[in-house]
Amino acid sequence: MKKFKLLALAFVIATTSLFAKSTDLPDVPVEVINSQISELFTAAHEMDLTEDFTVLVTLKFDNSGKIIVLDVDNKNREVLNYIRKNVNGMKIDAPVETHRVFKIPIQFKGS
């Protein structure tokens, strides 16, 4: 009976270590992801902004690599809609960890 329990324990340990092994994505620096997301904002905005300001955008990536905007640290509706329109649902070239949360500052220039 002891041999059976020992064999069962060895089997459980072996199978859990087999299934626990995951395929790791290459370690992509946040700067690379940041620069690729900033490229989504290269088009000039048509908002009437009177001053320069920075907006902190909180986002993550889903299983297919699409960007999901979670939060925009700004109350201006035009800014919110502009960010959601230009970022939400877009993909970038860099491989990223799914469901990892990123906080990226985006600068807006006033006229």
pTM over cut 0.85: no
Note whether residue 15 is domain-resident: no
The answer as to whether 88 is a domain residue is: yes
User: Based on the structure, what is the number of domains in the chain?
Assistant: 1
Q: Which residue has the tokens 């939400």?
A: 88
Residue tagged 């990226």 (tokens): 104
Per-residue pLDDT of 49-78, as tens digits, reads: 788 888 888 988 888 888 899 999 988 888
Domain residue limits at 101: 27-108
Identify whether 81 is part of a domain.
yes
Structure tokens at 50: 């009177």
User: Residue 59, exposed/middle/buried by CB under 10 A (0-12, 13-18, 19+)?
Assistant: buried
Q: What is the pLDDT of residue 28?
A: 64
Q: How distant, in Å, are the alpha carbons of 1, 20, 25, 39, 85 from that of 43?
A: 72, 44, 31, 9, 12
Instruction: Pick the closest to residue 82 from 36, 45, 31 (CA basis).
Output: 45
Q: What is the pLDDT of residues 6-46, one digit of tens each?
A: 656 565 565 565 455 445 555 666 777 777 777 777 666 67
What's the CA gap between 5 and 109, in Å, rounded? Answer: 69
Task: Give pLDDT, residue 21.
Answer: 45
